[in-house]
Amino acid sequence: GIQVEQSPPDLILQEGANSTLRCNFSDSVNNLQWFHQNPWGQLINLFYIPSGTKQNGRLSATTVATERYSLLYISSSQTTDSGVYFCAVFYTGGFKTIFGAGTRLFVKA
Amino acid sequence: KAGVTQTPRYLIKTRGQQVTLSCSPISGHRSVSWYQQTPGQGLQFLFEYFSETQRNKGNFPGRFSGRQFSNSRSEMNVSTLELGDSALYLCASSLQGHEETQYFGPGTRLLVL
């Protein structure tokens, strides 16, 4: 089945710093998503990015589908960025989303 | 438009009991999926429903079951609870034909004692 791997598993940043989170996936996919899970457990959609680059404020994401990876960039990090970031792939044949293990981010004030 | 809602938000049960969790999707969304999140196993797919039909089921024992009603609301049931069933249970909904974009509810935190 499809494997989704994320790195790093944990990340501690000083407020204002930039970071890059990586997601590798095992098979050719065309429907990659990034989520942020806040400390209360809510999963929030950040990007649906099967390929190319998208930006939303201080966040941007790039997916290179041919090389089977995606990157999430966080610039000028804030304490509210803390939480767990997941990348996920939707398996069309099974109507299910396969999640990576997540990157746990803590931004210090 | 209201988001995905889940009830109850928190639940404490004891081993051997059963539990029913409820999920109301975003208006117009007919696909509902359930996921279990634990520290050890991460986010794992439980099942997906569309038009009251289960289209797929994850690798969970038969104690885990679900259903969907004609108004797209969904319930999941766990019978004979075990300590390992303690988890955050997340529900997601999506539009027909756009199931790759899922919107998640706030989850139900279940603690089994």
Return the pLDDT at A27. Answer: 80
Residues of chain B found within 8 Å of residue A29, distances taken between Cβ atoms: none
Q: Residue B107 and residue A48: Cβ atoms within 8 Å?
A: no
**What is the DSSP annotation of B9-62?**
SEEEE-TT--EEEEEEPPTT--EEEEEEEETTTEEEEEEEEETTEEEEE-S--T
Q: CA-nearest residue of chain B to A103? A: B42
Return the pLDDT at A1. Answer: 79
Return the pLDDT at A93. Answer: 76
Q: How far apart are CA A76 and CA A49, in angstroms?
A: 22
Asked if residues A59 and A46 have their Cβ atoms less than 8 Å apart, the reply is: yes
Q: Residue B35 and residue A90: Cβ atoms within 8 Å?
A: no
Closest among B12, B79, B90 to B44, alpha carbons compared: B90
Asked if pLDDT for residue B19 goes beyond 80, the answer is yes
Beta strand pairing status for A52-56 and A103-108? unpaired
Residue pLDDT, tens place only, B43-87:
999 999 999 999 999 999 999 999 999 999 999 999 999 999 999
Return the pLDDT at B45. Answer: 94
CB proximity list for B98: less than 8 A, separation 6 or greater: none
Asked if pLDDT for residue B96 goes beyond 90, the answer is no
Supply A95's token pair: 């109507």
CA angle B26, B37, B20 (to 5 degrees): 60
Give chain B's contact residues with A (Cβ, < 8 Å). Answer: 31, 33, 35, 37, 42-43, 45, 48, 50, 55-56, 58, 88, 90, 92, 99-104, 106-107, 109
Q: Residue A96 and residue B45: Cβ atoms within 8 Å?
A: yes
Residues of chain B found within 8 Å of residue A94, distances taken between Cβ atoms: 45, 48, 56
Rounded mean pLDDT, B86-98: 93
Supply A98's token pair: 């396969």
Return the pLDDT at B2. Answer: 83
Strands lying side by side in the sheet with A59-64: A4-7, A19-25, A69-74, A59-64, A52-56
Would the CA dihedral through A46, B45, A66, A20 be positive or negative?
Answer: positive
3-state secondary structure of B87: strand
pLDDT along chain A (109 residues), means of 10: 93 97 86 92 92 96 94 97 94 84 97
Return the pLDDT at B106. Answer: 95
Beta strand pairing status for A10-14 and A103-108? parallel
Residues of chain A found within 8 Å of residue B101, distances taken between Cβ atoms: 33, 45, 48
Q: Residue B100 and residue A33: Cβ atoms within 8 Å?
A: yes
Residues of chain B found within 8 Å of residue A48, distances taken between Cβ atoms: 100-101
- Percentage, residues of chain B above pLDDT 90: 90
Residue A67 dihedral angles phi and psi, to the nearest 5° = -105, 5
